[in-house]
Homo-oligomer: A and B are copies of this chain.
């Protein structure tokens, strides 16, 4: 028979079993952490009607969307988890209780040009808090605190959540009389890290934006404000009293910084950074980006902010919210590339491989059942293979314990158990073996998924 060469589409991550186990571990930490903060899991369809999904219309993403006909229906695959959330909240408004806190970890699709480290199918892991009409500023501090907790639980240490407030930016541009141009200016300033201050200044003064040199200098001076959080906040005090929106933003930023500390986020893991604006128009208050301090070239691995109208394309109700999104697939890829995934954590499919040495398998099956009831992942190896091949099977997969069960052991009521890492072999009763294995596994599971 002619064979079809199997392949996986480029831009689609398909992991081997060991890295997949690491990915599962990360997802489990995300689910658990988000749950601890009172977020409920949601799962919305991958496919939506194109008119619903693209109600907001246009933009960069539209070209990248997977859109197709099925029968009479014009369908699209979701390109983020925010639009489906907006639809969900508008559609089920009467069945929800506000503030509504949800997390969603799901695949989204963007037909970007394929390149290393860019994915067309990728997981986003989002949390959002949606208010009905109003939403307290405390949420804008809690959101990055959750990200701090998530990343530290994963083992990440050298990261920084950078925080700013759009009202400060809008107010600042207003007091310069540049409100009309603030969108263009912010998009330009957003490139500061990539292109440097001189090129930013040149773009600000080119034909399109056409600022005076004095205006451009004023902006560069403003975004150059840096230092410890108290220093930045103190420098911002110098602008207070000249614009209402600015003053409101500054008050919010002060509150967020205060509560971030109360939520236990250490000073080294967050920074007020006036260059953060977020490209998207719909952010209206606090905005966040998160960078890995040793890998700034990666850009933000977790971004979000406060918005005033989640679902304005579906409903007249004002539904303000605050949310943040981890680009999980890309983050996982980067962690792997940088050698930051802890290789010492078990990635084997089982904790114990049982090798029955008798014709009748009842005793081996009974032992497997006992191990599983004790929460130990156990696999029976009943294939017709040589003993050596079976031990090598455990070795290849990294299964930490191998149990041999022959007539002698069964008669004596013991099991022979080999620790594959140390080579140490014990002959103990089943209960004692289970105790020993569980202690050993607890030791092996001790580390975090991410190194440093």
Tell me the A residues contacting B by CB distance below 8 Å: 1, 3-9, 12-17, 20-21, 23-24, 35-49, 51-52, 55, 66, 68-71, 73, 75, 86-88, 90-92, 95-97, 99, 101-102, 107, 109, 111, 121, 131, 134-136, 138-139, 142, 149, 259, 262-264, 311-316, 349-350, 353, 361-362, 365-366, 369, 372, 375-384, 393, 396-397
Contact = CB atoms under 8 A, between A and B. Distances in A.
Nearest to A15: B43
A130 to B, nearest CB: 12
Contacts of A23: 43
A415 B278 CA distance: 40
Which 9 A-B pairs give the minimum distances between C-beta atoms? A38-B379, A68-B68, A38-B350, A40-B349, A4-B55, A12-B45, A138-B382, A6-B91, A6-B314
A200 B439 CA distance: 59
| Assembly stoichiometry (copies) | 2
Contacts of A377: 35-38
Nearest to A56: B4
Contact of A316 (B3, B71, B134, B313): B3
Given A46-B107, A262-B365, A382-B136, A20 B7 contact: no
A361 B12 contact: no
Given A38-B378, A365-B262, A383 B9 contact: no
A131 B378 contact: no
5 contacts: A4-B51, A5-B314, A38-B350, A139-B382, A262-B366
Contact of A75 (B9, B35, B75): B9
A40 B69 contact: no
B37 A372 contact: yes
Nearest to A42: B20
Contact of A393 (B97, B138, B365, B378): B97
Q: Which of the listed residues A17, A135, A315 has the most CB atoms from chain B within 10 Å of its own CB? A: A17
Contact of A361 (B20, B70, B259, B264): B259
Contacts of A13: 45
A395 B264 CA distance: 29
Contacts of A73: 9
A23 to B, nearest CB: 7
Nearest to A374: B36
Contacts of A69: 68
Contacts of A121: 45-47
Given A14-B88, A47-B121, A52 B21 contact: no
A362 B43 contact: no
Given A39-B349, A97-B397, A135-B383, 5 more contacts: A3-B314, A4-B314, A6-B86, A17-B102, A131-B383
Contacts of A1: 312-313
Q: Which of the listed residues A1, A14, A66 has the most CB atoms from chain B within 10 Å of its own CB? A: A14
B66 A40 contact: no
A349 B134 contact: no
A12 B47 contact: yes
A91 B7 contact: yes
B262 A313 contact: no
Nearest to A48: B9
B16 A95 contact: yes
B313 A4 contact: yes
Given A23-B43, A383-B134, A384-B136, A349 B38 contact: yes
A252 to B, nearest CB: 14
A37 B379 contact: yes
A78 B315 CA distance: 34
Contact of A134 (B48, B384, B396): B384
B372 A36 contact: yes
B4 A52 contact: yes
Contacts of A51: 4
Contacts of A68: 66, 68-69
Contacts of A86: 6
Contacts of A97: 393, 396-397
A388 to B, nearest CB: 15
B16 A41 contact: no
A46 B16 CA distance: 16
Nearest to A399: B38
Given A380-B138, A383-B99, A111 B44 contact: no
